[in-house]
């Protein structure tokens, strides 16, 4: 039991610190960045073409996506090389392809 707990804790720490080295091309659109960096893990919700997320109203804003992309989370790596206009573009794209929960 202790080994399982330690393994779980170690995995959590490792995943929380993961990042991706993806760097968008200059002038890449939000859609281009999303397809290159995000679609590996995020697919459209079944039966909802081009809707990738269902979010509660407190999370349905571009700032939420920007923070999530920059910082990552338990299951999502951070993308430190997506910054500035690229971060704004991909955050807006993700927001536009979200639905209310």
- For the segment 55-95, what is each residue's pLDDT rounded down to a tens digit? 999 999 999 999 999 999 988 999 999 999 999 999 999 99
Q: ∠ CA 63-36-11 to the nearest 5 degrees?
A: 75
Place of tokens 């995000």: 38
Q: Which helix (H) or strand (E) holds 98?
A: strand 98-100
28: CATH? 1.10.760.10
- For the segment 25-36, what is each residue's pLDDT rounded down to a tens digit? 999 999 999 999
Q: Is the pLDDT of residue 5 over 80?
A: no
What local confidence, expressed as pLDDT, does residue 20 receive? Answer: 83
Q: Is the pLDDT of residue 13 over 50?
A: no
- What range does the domain containing 90 cover? 2-100
Alpha helix (H) residue ranges in 1-101: 2-16, 30-37, 62-71, 84-96
Determine the straight-line distance between the first and last CA of the chain, rounded to whole angstroms. 37
Domains in the chain, number: 1
What local confidence, expressed as pLDDT, does residue 19 receive? Answer: 72
What is the Cα–Cα distance from 64 to 92, expressed in whole angstroms?
A: 10
Rounded to two decimals, the pTM is 0.79
């Amino acid at each position: 039991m202790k080994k399982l707990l330690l393994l779980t804790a170690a995995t959590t720490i490792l995943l929380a610190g993961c990042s991706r080295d993806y760097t968008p091309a200059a002038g890449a659109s939000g859609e281009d960045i999303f397809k290159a960096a995000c679609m590996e893990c995020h697919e459209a919700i079944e039966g909802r073409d081009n809707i990738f997320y269902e979010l509660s109203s407190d999370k349905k804003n571009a700032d939420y996506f920007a923070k999530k992309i920059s910082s990552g989370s338990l299951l999502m790596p951070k993308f430190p090389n997506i910054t500035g206009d690229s971060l704004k573009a991909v955050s807006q794209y993700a927001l536009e392809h979200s639905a209310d929960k």
